[in-house]
């Protein structure tokens, strides 16, 4: 009988998540789990403990898991952490910083946005002046790795300023947590947000928030949503041994637990960061040798995802280039910069420098416009 079944792994995902996962992460999803079972809830408790350990070695922090994509966890954090009597300052330089502002606006949270454009980091002097002049600001939010471009924002410098002005600090570390060393206590972050399908190399289905326990405990009643109430989700997990309020993505949770073990086996975040950085270095060397130009100055470039300016040749078309690469076993990302034609290549997931070398060969073979 003929079928339309795709190959098990038809291509390598070179994207910022979902990403290419190991066979062992995929394999553990072949078993079913009951959301009420003690064995399953012990897995959840283990994950919560590991996340706080990865975020800092200081006491006083806690973690909570939230169903949905990473944006669900960002929205849950914003509407729970910032009361309607507060005011949020968003430091934006890409689509995901602007999405935080959109969330706050929809929720009716008083809002101020500093948009430094997509190829520039936040203006620290402007931040200092604003926090000095506007006492009503209570919270500051920024995206660590802005995957619109691959920009790595200076969360330590921002945190020092925010802490000096005694404001709450929210860091969207969606695409960096687990792949770039972060000590949330050292940077003064009160909330850090990420997702299962990013640098820890799990699969999509839930996000997570690591928070200052005392500050999260003060947020009861802030959220104007039932399902996205981060406080209520945390309280239930805290008081009921890892139980979720509503049906949890059990297979995804089990895959994430496996991914955490594999992160430790690789040598932890430092070792994974080194691999991602090696991937990025090999990618840029090969692409520039072929004539491609990186979008960002290297000093702002993260090792997570790399943007390249599109060729100016009149016959170049991203969709056609994408198709050629896909037939050779690689999937990349379209650009997301508003004022330039770009494309992006992710360096994260179960990907190694040898894969990047193979990609470069595929890119050269796919340059049909030459």
Q: 332-344 pLDDT, tens per residue?
A: 999 888 888 999 9
3-state secondary structure of 156: helix
Average pLDDT of the residues of the chain:
95
For the stretch 302-324, what's the b/e string if a residue is b when 16 or more beta carbons lie within 10 angstroms of its beta carbon? bbbbbbbebbeeeeeebeebbeb
Measured in Å, how far apart are the chain's first and last C-alpha atoms?
43
Give the pLDDT mean for 237-258.
96
Give the pLDDT mean for 135-139.
96
Contact 242, 37 (CB under 8 A): no
Specify the pLDDT at position 3: 41
Q: Which residue is associated with the tokens 């620290």?
A: 124
Q: 44-77 pLDDT, tens per residue?
A: 999 999 999 999 999 999 999 999 999 999 999 9
**At residue 8, does pLDDT exceed 90?**
no
Rounded-to-10 torsion of CA 293, 296, 297, 303:
-100
**Fold that domain 28-264 belongs to in CATH:** 3.40.640
Q: Which residue is associated with the tokens 């496996």?
A: 258
Domain ranges of the chain: 12-17+268-366, 28-264
Instruction: Give residue 2's pLDDT band: very low, low, confident or very high (50, 70, 90).
Output: very low
Which strand (E) or helix (H) includes residue 139?
A: strand 139-143
Q: 145-190 pLDDT, tens per residue?
A: 999 999 999 999 999 999 999 999 999 999 999 999 999 999 999 9
Q: What is the DSSP letter of 305?
A: E
The answer for residues whose C-beta is within 8 angstroms of residue 161's C-beta and 6 or more apart is: 124, 127, 128, 131
3-state secondary structure of 229: coil
Q: Which residue is associated with the tokens 């190694």?
A: 352
Specify the pLDDT at position 1: 36
> What is the CB neighbour count within 10 angstroms for residue 293?
13
**At residue 327, does pLDDT exceed 50?**
yes
Q: What is the DSSP letter of 295?
A: S
Rounded-to-10 torsion of CA 145, 149, 154, 158:
-90
% of the chain residues with pLDDT over 70: 98
Q: 183-205 pLDDT, tens per residue?
A: 999 999 999 999 999 999 999 99
For the stretch 45-56, what's the b/e string if a residue is b when 16 or more beta carbons lie within 10 angstroms of its beta carbon? eebbebbbebbb
Give the pLDDT mean for 109-127.
96
CATH 3.40.50.720 fits 12-17+268-366, yes or no: no
* pTM listed for this prediction: 0.96
Give the pLDDT mean for 92-99.
97
**At residue 7, does pLDDT exceed 90?**
no
DSSP line for 252-274: HHHHHHHHHHHHHHHTHHHHHHH
**At residue 253, does pLDDT exceed 50?**
yes
């Amino acid at each position: 009988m003929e079928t339309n079944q795709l190959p098990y792994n038809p291509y390598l995902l070179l994207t910022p998540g979902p990403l290419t996962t190991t066979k062992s992460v995929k394999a553990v999803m072949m078993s079913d789990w009951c959301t009420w079972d003690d064995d399953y809830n012990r897995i959840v408790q283990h994950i919560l403990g590991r996340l706080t350990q990865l975020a800092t070695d200081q006491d006083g922090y806690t973690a909570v898991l939230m169903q949905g994509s990473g944006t669900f966890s960002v929205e849950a954090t914003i509407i729970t952490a910032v009361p309607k009597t507060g005011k949020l300052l968003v430091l934006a330089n890409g689509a995901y910083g602007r999405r935080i502002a959109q969330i706050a606006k929809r929720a009716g949270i008083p809002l101020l946005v500093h948009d430094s454009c997509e190829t520039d980091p936040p203006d620290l002097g402007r931040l200092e002046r604003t926090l000095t002049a506007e006492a009503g600001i209570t919270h500051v939010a920024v995206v660590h790795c802005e995957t619109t471009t691959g920009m790595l924002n200076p969360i330590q410098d921002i945190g020092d300023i925010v802490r000096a002005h005694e404001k709450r600090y929210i860091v969207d570390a969606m695409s960096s947590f687990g792949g770039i060393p972060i000590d949330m206590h050292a940077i003064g972050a009160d909330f850090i947000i990420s997702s299962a399908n990013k640098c820890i190399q799990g699969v999509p289905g839930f996000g997570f928030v690591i928070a200052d326990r005392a500050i999260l405990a003060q947020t009861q009643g802030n959220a104007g949503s039932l399902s996205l109430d981060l406080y209520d989700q945390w309280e239930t997990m805290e008081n009921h041994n890892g139980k979720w309020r509503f049906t949890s993505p059990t297979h995804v949770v089990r895959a994430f637990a496996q991914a955490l073990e594999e992160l430790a086996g690789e040598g932890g975040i430092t070792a994974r960061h080194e691999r991602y950085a090696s991937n990025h270095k090999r990618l840029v060397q090969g692409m520039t040798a072929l004539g491609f130009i990186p979008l960002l100055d290297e000093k702002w470039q993260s090792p997570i995802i790399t943007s390249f300016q599109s060729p100016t040749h009149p016959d170049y078309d991203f969709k056609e280039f994408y198709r050629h690469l896909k037939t050779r076993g690689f999937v990349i990302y379209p650009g997301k910069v508003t004022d330039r034609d770009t494309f992006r290549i992710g360096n994260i997931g179960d990907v190694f420098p040898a894969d990047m070398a193979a990609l470069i060969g595929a890119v050269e073979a796919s340059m049909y416009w030459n």
